């Protein structure tokens, strides 16, 4: 069993976000830190550092226009030289003044055209970078009853999605994210997994749903959504983070490690850990007060631990208890796995892979933090937020 678990963990891949290495903040304040990247190239350097210490983070998501460069092939070469690759391309149609009333669902056709053109330009970036996935999240919605025609906004959304979908090549995908509320509070145009699923279903096989663990109402059973979308072959990607209240974007597993375990159980049951499963596992975090790189390393480790616990579930005993209607027995099997300390197993696996068993400690000893604080003086630090 131990070797089976290790083999599954060897195959796990977790993509890190370029923006997670930059200055970030809350709605009120961006907290600046020394040594954060100033360019997409330096973000790649930091992502490569996370991969060097964890061994499971070989790709990095880009966000356009935050990560615009003159030559994406050159950026890709820079990544390859450092042992990583460019991953998902994320669009941004929420930070322009024109998008106050929406982007692709805006009542003004000029604004809709501008937003759709940006999405098409992101597909151009995919072509140049070699990325196969375009992730779409829309801040579009309304704040007041009567502000706009809800049905018409869905028509506009469908029209824009169809135009961008038609632009994809045969090996590219569109990943549609949803969010319950914020920045709009009366209606969001893609508020839940059902809305995203319906649009993806209408588009075709190359359109799939993205789950962000922080984008749901409190108490939502996210693992049910995972199971449903896996069954329908419509789960394209995860944005892993953690929240106490809303879209807190905290380190993965910080608020509810049990929820993370339950989610990973559904992934393991569906044999969706493998790279050819079609599910891309990503982090989407904005570290406000903690150091960037070690916080991302910690999140990667937390996902690994939840995955390992899901893998040590006695699947045969669980299935038998479920068939027998043994409620307490089934729950006991489940809880035994969650309460298992898998850290020694992961430390052993890392040593077998030539990695330090404690990635956080190894990063601390590496001197990389001191190096980037000294080297990245001057210029404009990358960042976003209030």
Reported as a single tens digit per residue, the pLDDT across 128-139 is 999 999 999 999
The whole-number average pLDDT for the span 243-266 is 95
Q: Quote the pLDDT of residue 28.
A: 78
What pLDDT is attached to residue 24?
Answer: 85
User: What is the predicted pLDDT for the residue at 384?
Assistant: 67
pTM: 0.96
What is the rounded average pLDDT for all residues in the chain?
96
User: What pLDDT does 285 receive?
Assistant: 86
Q: In the prediction, which pLDDT does 386 show? A: 39
Q: What CA–CA distance (Å, rounded) separates 292 from 299?
A: 11
Residue found under tokens 């020394």: 34
Q: Per-residue pLDDT averaged across 300-311, rounded?
A: 98
Structural domains of the chain ordered from first start: 14-375 (3.20.20.150)
Closest CA to 237 of 260, 270, 255, 212: 212
Percent of the chain predicted with pLDDT > 90: 92
More confident residue, 158 or 32: 158
Is the per-residue pLDDT at 335 higher than 90?
yes
Please state, for a pLDDT cut of 70, what percent of the chain lies above it: 99
Least confident of 104-118, 265-279, 339-353: 265-279
Instruction: Inform me whether the pLDDT recorded for 261 exceeds 60.
Output: yes
């Amino acid at each position: 069993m131990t070797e089976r678990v290790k083999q599954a963990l060897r195959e796990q891949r977790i993509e890190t976000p370029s923006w997670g290495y930059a200055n970030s903040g809350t709605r009120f304040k961006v907290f600046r830190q020394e040594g954060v990247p100033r360019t997409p190239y330096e973000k790649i350097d930091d992502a490569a550092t996370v991969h060097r210490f964890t061994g499971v983070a070989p790709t990095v998501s880009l966000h356009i226009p935050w990560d615009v460069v003159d030559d994406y092939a050159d950026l890709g070469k820079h990544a390859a030289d450092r042992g990583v690759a460019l991953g998902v391309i994320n669009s941004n149609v929420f930070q322009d003044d024109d998008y106050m009333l929406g982007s692709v669902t805006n009542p003004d056709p000029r604004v809709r055209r501008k937003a759709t053109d940006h999405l098409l330009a992101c597909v151009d970036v995919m072509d140049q970078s070699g990325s196969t996935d375009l992730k779409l999240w829309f801040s579009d919605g309304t704040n007041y009853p009567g502000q706009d025609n809800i049905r018409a906004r869905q028509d506009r959304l469908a029209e824009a999605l169809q135009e961008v979908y038609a632009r994809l090549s045969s090996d590219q995908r569109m990943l549609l994210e949803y969010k319950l509320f914020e920045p709009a509070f009366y209606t969001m145009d893609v508020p839940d997994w059902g809305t995203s699923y319906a649009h993806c279903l209408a588009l075709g096989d190359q359109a799939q749903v993205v789950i962000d663990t922080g984008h749901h109402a409190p108490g939502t059973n996210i693992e049910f959504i995972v199971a449903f979308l896996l069954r329908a072959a419509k789960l394209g990607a995860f944005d892993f983070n953690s929240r106490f209240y809303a879209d807190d974007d905290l380190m993965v597993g910080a608020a509810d490690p049990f929820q993370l375990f339950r989610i990973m159980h559904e992934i393991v049951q569906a044999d969706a850990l493998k790279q050819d499963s079609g599910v891309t596992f990503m982090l989407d975090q904005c570290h406000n007060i903690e150091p960037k790189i070690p916080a991302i390393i910690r999140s990667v480790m937390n996902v690994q631990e939840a995955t390992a616990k899901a893998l040590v579930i006695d699947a045969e005993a669980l299935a038998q208890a479920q068939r027998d209607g043994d409620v307490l027995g089934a729950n006991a099997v489940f809880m035994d796995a969650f309460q298992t300390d898998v850290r020694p197993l992961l430390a052993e696996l890392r040593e077998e892979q030539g990695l330090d068993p404690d990635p956080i400690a190894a990063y601390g000893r590496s001197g990389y933090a001191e190096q980037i604080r000294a080297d990245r003086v001057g210029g404009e630090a990358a960042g976003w937020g209030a």
